[in-house]
Amino acid sequence: MIETIKQIEGNIGFGYDIHQLVPSRKLVIGGIEIDYHLGALAHSDGDVLIHALIDAILTGIGSLDIGSHFPDTDRKYFGIDSTILLSEVMTICHSKGYKINNVSLTVILEEPKLADYIPIMKVKLANLLKVKVSDIGIAAKTNEKLGLAGESKAIIAFAAVSLNKIET
């Protein structure tokens, strides 16, 4: 018996980001402000998780990276809410004929614990990406006190995304 398997054209994308942690800055992760005495040093709001996700989406659709689309030399992006950048990236994504299937995210920071924030991050990202909350996975890990993240000098994020071509 010959089975017909419907083939769906899909792509994957991967992204990474790191920011220094410094005093007197907000800590924003996944579009949510986190209560902590350090924040991300950045031209934008320094949302490391959304920046990694943006690079995953952009590279997954064969586009240029976040720094090419939103240069940190451009004053218009100074202090910008990274969810605005993600919305613009979703417009690019849809205009190229792709939709998000699911995303898998990892954020690495020694403290504070993010468990209480993750459910609201997932809802926020699901709305921005036009996917179900169950299609967003977020792991939060310490770096076991090792290296820059382990010493709370940096926050790091990785993002993987699966994209499908929209059927026309």
Q: Where does this chain bind Mg ion (CB under 5 A)? A: 17, 51
Residue nearest to Mg ion (CB): 51
Residue 150 amino acid letter: G
Of 49 and 129, nearer to Mg ion (C-beta) is 49
What's the min distance (Å) between Cβ of 19 and Mg ion? 6
Of 51 and 124, nearer to Mg ion (C-beta) is 51
Burial class (CB in 10 A: 0-12, 13-18, 19+), 64: exposed
Whether cis (ω within 30° of 0) applies to the bond prior to 71 is no
What's the min distance (Å) between Cβ of 17 and Mg ion? 4
CA distance 33 to 39: 10
What's the min distance (Å) between Cβ of 18 and Mg ion? 7
Residue identified by tokens 């018996």 is 1
Of 16 and 99, nearer to Mg ion (C-beta) is 16
